[in-house]
Amino acid sequence: MTTALEKYYHKINNLKSEEMILNMGPQHPSTHGVLRLELITDGEIVVEVIPHLGYLHRCFEKHCESLTYPQIIPYTDRMDYLASMNNNHAFVMGVERMLGIDKDIPRRVEYIRVLVCELNRIASHLIAIGTYGIDIGAFTPFLWCFRDREHIMNLLEWASGARMLYNYLWVGGLFYDLPVGFEERCKEFIDYFKPKMVELNELLTHNKIFIDRTANVGVLPLDVAINYGVSGPMLRGSGLKYDLRRIDEYSVYPEIEFDIPIGKGEMGSVGDCWDRYKVRVDEVEQSVKIIEQCLERLTKELKRDKEFDPRAKLPRKCTPKAQDFYVRAENPKGELGFYFIADGKREIPFRVKSRGPSFNNLSVLPEIAKGCMIADLIAILGSTDIVLGEVDR
């Protein structure tokens, strides 16, 4: 037994007389997957949280060491399975840059990529918003969010053939062009969806009970957030305008207009649960704006034509030069990174490390949950919006 393990058991076995161990999970519904939180409690107060991960570990990195680059794409789907398109996007971008073909990708392909990624971002945020409501006791928003998400699922299924795990973005192109009539139906969806967001805001965002449960709860100060490597809506909820779509200016994002919403502490203090929730709601609106601009261009100057082949630029052989490369992109949950080491001889990577946003966002939980109530812990965990498929990989 190592000394760290001994220290852990010593702590667990030598509690003060007023303290008690409480296990939350692995099958607790509010953990959004299989996560076990070991709580040391003093009455209703959480003294310490010890997260135990790994229940969903599927050896992603080990698998990568025996698969070619295009074969890994379906595995990235299964990391953050609520935002598969965004995972695909980060991964193929990295491989394309290593191959040096990132400048040759047709613009229609890039716009389709951004379009489907933003649709997926909305779907992911809808889950975050809906399940957050249900964590706190609001059942209706959950059903409404799932109803609207279903339309996105249908659209993406129409394009890729799969409901959740798409494998749609390929290295150098796409699986297929968008089906005929996709742009029109997507436009219809946007027209349908906009008033639904207004309804949702009335129902949940400005709900008195919801605000009481989330405002001033789980405040995450900005310096702590940065030090813990927190990213995405959680970091922006703490009041920093930091979005990799703007910082790195990858794909066609520089040509698209959108704002970066941040937490302002409208209902309590900056960086509380309500701020994190609100950033997601605002981001859905921004994604709608991005989708409208993409549709505009995809139906006008980048209109579909018979000659267009999304697989035209697929590399025959995916063998990058010997190098190591770190790529990062903005996932709905935060900064998704892949670190590749290529040896230049084989078509399979020497090493792939993935940096999941949920993994880092979860690591801050023991820090901000210290001294809160057990019921508030659920609110804090829900507001971090983790997906265990990515935490455990």
Partner 1 sequence: MDFTEIKRLLIEKFGEDVIVNEQTEGLQPSLTIRPELIADVCLELRDNEKTYFDFLSCLSGVDYGVEQQKMGVVYHLASIPYKKQLTLKVEKEFDRSSDSLPSFPTVSNVWRTADWHEREAYDLLGIDFEGHPDLRRILLPDDWEGHPLRKDYKTAAEYKGIKIDY
Contact between 48 and partner 1 by CB under 8 A: the answer reads: no
Segments of the chain assigned E as strands: 20-24, 36-42, 45-52, 169-170, 173-174, 323-330, 335-342, 351-355
Instruction: Quickly count: other Cβ atoms within 10 Å of residue 299's Cβ.
Output: 14
Tell me if 61 contacts partner 1 by CB under 8 A. Answer: yes
The separation between the first and the last C-alpha atoms of the chain, rounded to the nearest angstrom, is 26
Binds partner 1 (CB under 8 A): choice among 69, 189, 228, 277:
228
Which one of the spans 30-38, 139-147, 198-206, 240-248 is the region binding partner 1 (CB under 8 A)? 240-248
Q: Which is nearer to partner 1, 247 or 312 (CB)?
A: 247
Q: Which stretch binds partner 1 (CB under 8 A): 13-21, 139-147, 271-279, 345-353?
A: 345-353
| Integer Cα distance of 221 and 271 in angstroms | 6
Provide the mask over 89-118, with x wherever binding to partner 1 is found by CB under 8 A and - wherever it is not.
--------xx--------------------
Dihedral sign for Cα atoms in the order 121, 311, 349, 165:
positive
**Could you say whether residue 229 binds partner 1 (CB under 8 A)?**
yes
Q: Judged by CB under 8 A, which stretch of 22-30, 136-144, 194-202, 221-229 contacts partner 1?
A: 221-229
Q: Considering only 149-157, 207-215, 337-345, 371-379, which stretch makes contact with partner 1 by CB under 8 A?
A: 337-345
Q: Quick one: which of 211, 304, 367, 374 contacts partner 1 (CB under 8 A)?
A: 367
Using rule CB under 8 A, residue 185 touches partner 1: no
CA 338, 344, 348, 351 torsion: positive or negative?
negative
Tokens of 4: 């760290």
Q: Which segment (83-91, 140-148, 289-297, 321-329) binds partner 1 by CB under 8 A? A: 321-329
- Which span (3-11, 105-113, 157-165, 266-274) binds partner 1, by CB under 8 A? 3-11
Nearer to partner 1, 62 or 300 (CB): 62
Residue 137's SS3 state is coil
384 — phi, psi (to 5°)? -80, -20
Site for partner 1 in 62-91 (CB under 8 A): 62
Residues 329 and 362 sit within 8 Å (Cβ to Cβ): no
* Min dist. Cβ of residue 33 to partner 1 (A): 14
Among 355, 358, 368, 383, indicate the residue that binds partner 1 (CB under 8 A).
Answer: 355
Among 297, 328, 333, 372, binds partner 1 (CB under 8 A): 328
Task: From residue 339, give the alpha-carbon distance in Å to each of 60, 98, 354.
Answer: 13, 11, 6
Which one of 126, 240, 298, 377 is in contact with partner 1 (CB under 8 A)?
240
Please state, in angstroms and rounded to a whole number, the distance separating the CA atoms of residues 227 and 208. Answer: 33
Whether residue 26 is preceded by a cis peptide bond, meaning omega within 30 degrees of 0, is yes
Q: Does position 24 bind partner 1 by CB under 8 A?
A: no
Q: How far is the CB of 57 from partner 1 (least distance, A)?
A: 5
* The amino acid at 336: L
Answer for which of 57, 147, 163, 346 binds partner 1 (CB under 8 A) is 57
In the numeric block, the tokens 């203090």 are attached to 269
Closest distance of CB 343 from partner 1, Å: 9
Strand partners, 45: 42, 373
The residue within the footprint of partner 1, chosen from 142, 168, 242, 250 (CB under 8 A), is: 242
β partners of residue 337: 328, 355
Question: Which segment (142-150, 291-299, 325-333, 370-378) binds partner 1 by CB under 8 A?
Answer: 325-333
Alpha-carbon distance of 285 to 235, in angstroms, equals: 18
Per CB under 8 A, 4 contacts partner 1:
yes
Torsional sign, CA 47, 132, 204, 263: positive
Tokens 């190591």 label which residue?
Answer: 324
Sign of the CA dihedral 381, 383, 387, 390? negative
Between 8 and 81, name the residue whose CB sits nearer to partner 1.
Answer: 8
Partners of 354 in the β-ladder: 338
Residue among 183, 319, 143, 334 at smallest CA distance from 247? 334
Cα 365 versus chain centre, distance: 17
Q: Which residues bind partner 1 (CB under 8 A)?
A: 2, 4-5, 7-8, 53-54, 57, 59, 61-62, 97-98, 226-229, 240, 242, 247, 323-326, 328, 335, 337, 339, 341, 350-351, 353, 355, 359-360, 363-364, 367, 392-393
